[in-house]
């Protein structure tokens, strides 16, 4: 079981405080554990990557819509404020990863950083586990695909750039909102969208293949912003994009509903109705293969909007032919890291 840390490190006293924003008003509890494994393997039809790595459980970003919230219940905690305030740190993650990559059976498949909680949440400034895991992957020439809302990824830009030169790294910034104020209401302690666009610009300037994740699409709240989100990401250097429909597992729904009704009292009915429009009258779809995308005429219109503007901007184009001497790209399952339909597909 995770052990509580009586005097946990304070991320806002680190060298990277300028990338963390303001500290949250609530008290953070930190628990440390020695993990037996850090690579999670999946065979879900919703996810096209096979392996993911999560150095942390729980997430200080506090996003109301986070589909990972129910995972905290396996620890005997709640999916609400416990998920935001009780963070488990896998302190031996780099060492365990090294052991796993040393196995003869490891065939250098792409590792997604992270499949569940954000690998660049504030505690990473103190623990540095994501950075050390990236260094292990670089040593073993194992491709990585990073997705994050955390501006702290800038600290590791040089590592990602080195790996990218060998075709071993790409990064997506999850940016579902244009306006910093709107984002703060729904994902209160994540980096502001304006900062995330600038992070795309920085990584792109260093040669790291980048993209935008419009995740989640919340009908009635941010679906109309898709064209401008794509435009800003493209202007910053992103050349890939994907979107995912909002998921609201049973334990997440009350957290999301409460936040929406408090933050957008006049629009709450429209937003909740929009979700039902793309979920066949329900608030969630739990069937494998349908969890990440919507259905019905409204979702088809959203997909069309995304596809038209992606084509207009030249996003998600096929990779040009390799020149002589260029290293081969990582072996992923499909044509892009995340494909345009909203299905995850860790590939460049």
Tens-place pLDDT, residues 80-90: 999 999 999 99
Given a contact cutoff of 8 angstroms between Cβ atoms, the answer to whether 89 and 56 are in contact is yes
| 44 band by pLDDT with thresholds 50, 70 and 90 | low
| Residue 301: pLDDT over 50 | yes
User: Between β-strands 86-90 and 111-113, what pairing exists: parallel, antiparallel or unpaired?
Assistant: unpaired
pLDDT for res 154 = 97
Q: What DSSP designation does 254 have?
A: H
Least confident of 9-13, 73-77, 81-85, 128-132: 9-13
pLDDT for res 239 = 97
- Quote the CA–CA distance of 199 and 196 in Å, as a whole number: 5
Given a contact cutoff of 8 angstroms between Cβ atoms, the answer to whether 304 and 296 are in contact is no
Residue bearing the bigger pLDDT, 208 or 336? 208
pLDDT for res 330 = 39
pLDDT for res 1 = 64
Torsion angles phi and psi, residue 32, rounded to 5: -110, 145
Question: pTM higher than 0.95, yes or no?
Answer: no
In the three-class reduction of DSSP (H, G, I as helix; E, B as strand; rest coil), residue 56 is classed as strand
| 2 band by pLDDT with thresholds 50, 70 and 90 | confident
Percentage of the residues of the chain whose pLDDT score is greater than 70: 86
pLDDT for res 345 = 38
Given a contact cutoff of 8 angstroms between Cβ atoms, the answer to whether 53 and 112 are in contact is yes
pLDDT for res 247 = 95
CA atoms within 13 A on the CB side of 77: 21
Which tokens is 37 given? Answer: 């494994």
| Residue 156: pLDDT over 60 | yes
pLDDT for res 11 = 73
Residue-range domain boundaries for the chain: 28-313
| Residue 21: pLDDT over 80 | no
| 281 band by pLDDT with thresholds 50, 70 and 90 | very high
pLDDT for res 8 = 73
pLDDT for res 114 = 83
* Mean pLDDT (the chain, rounded): 88
| Residue 59: pLDDT over 60 | yes
| 9 band by pLDDT with thresholds 50, 70 and 90 | confident
| 178 band by pLDDT with thresholds 50, 70 and 90 | very high
Q: What DSSP designation does 66 have?
A: -
Is the domain 28-313 a CATH 3.40.50.300 member?
no
Q: Does the bond joining 139 to the residue before it have cis omega, within 30 degrees of 0?
A: no
| 319 band by pLDDT with thresholds 50, 70 and 90 | low
């Amino acid at each position: 079981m995770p052990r509580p840390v009586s005097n946990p490190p304070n991320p806002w006293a680190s060298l990277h405080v300028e990338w963390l924003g303001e500290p949250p008003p609530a008290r953070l509890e930190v628990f440390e554990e020695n993990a037996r494994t850090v690579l999670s393997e999946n065979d879900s039809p919703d996810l096209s990557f096979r392996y993911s790595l999560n150095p942390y459980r729980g997430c200080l970003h506090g996003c109301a819509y986070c589909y990972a919230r129910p995972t905290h219940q396996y620890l005997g905690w709640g999916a609400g404020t416990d998920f935001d305030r009780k963070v488990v740190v896998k302190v031996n993650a780099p060492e365990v990863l090294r052991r796993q990559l040393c196995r003869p059976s490891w065939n250098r498949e792409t590792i997604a950083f992270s499949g569940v909680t954000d690998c660049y949440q504030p505690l990473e400034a103190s623990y540095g586990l994501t950075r050390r895991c990236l260094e292990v992957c670089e040593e073993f020439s194992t491709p990585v695909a990073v997705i994050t809302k955390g501006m702290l990824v800038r600290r590791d830009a040089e590592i990602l750039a080195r790996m990218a030169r060998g075709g071993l790294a790409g990064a997506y910034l999850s940016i579902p909102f244009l306006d910093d104020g709107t984002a703060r209401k729904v994902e209160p302690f994540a980096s502001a969208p304006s900062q995330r666009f600038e992070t795309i610009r920085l990584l792109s300037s260093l040669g790291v293949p980048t993209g935008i994740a419009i995740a989640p699409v919340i009908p009635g709240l941010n679906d109309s912003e898709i064209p401008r989100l794509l435009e800003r990401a493209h202007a910053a250097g992103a050349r890939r994009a994907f979107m995912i429909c909002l998921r609201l597992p049973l334990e997440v729904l009350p957290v999301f509903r409460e936040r929406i009704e408090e933050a957008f009292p006049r629009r709450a009915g429209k937003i909740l109705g929009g979700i039902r429009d793309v979920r066949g009258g329900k608030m969630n779809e739990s069937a494998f293969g349908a969890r990440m995308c919507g259905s019905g005429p409204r979702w088809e219109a959203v997909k069309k909007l995304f596809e038209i503007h992606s084509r207009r901007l030249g996003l998600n184009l096929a990779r040009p032919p390799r020149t002589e001497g260029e290293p081969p790209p990582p072996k992923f399952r499909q044509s892009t890291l995340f494909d345009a339909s909203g299905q995850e597909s860790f590939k460049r």
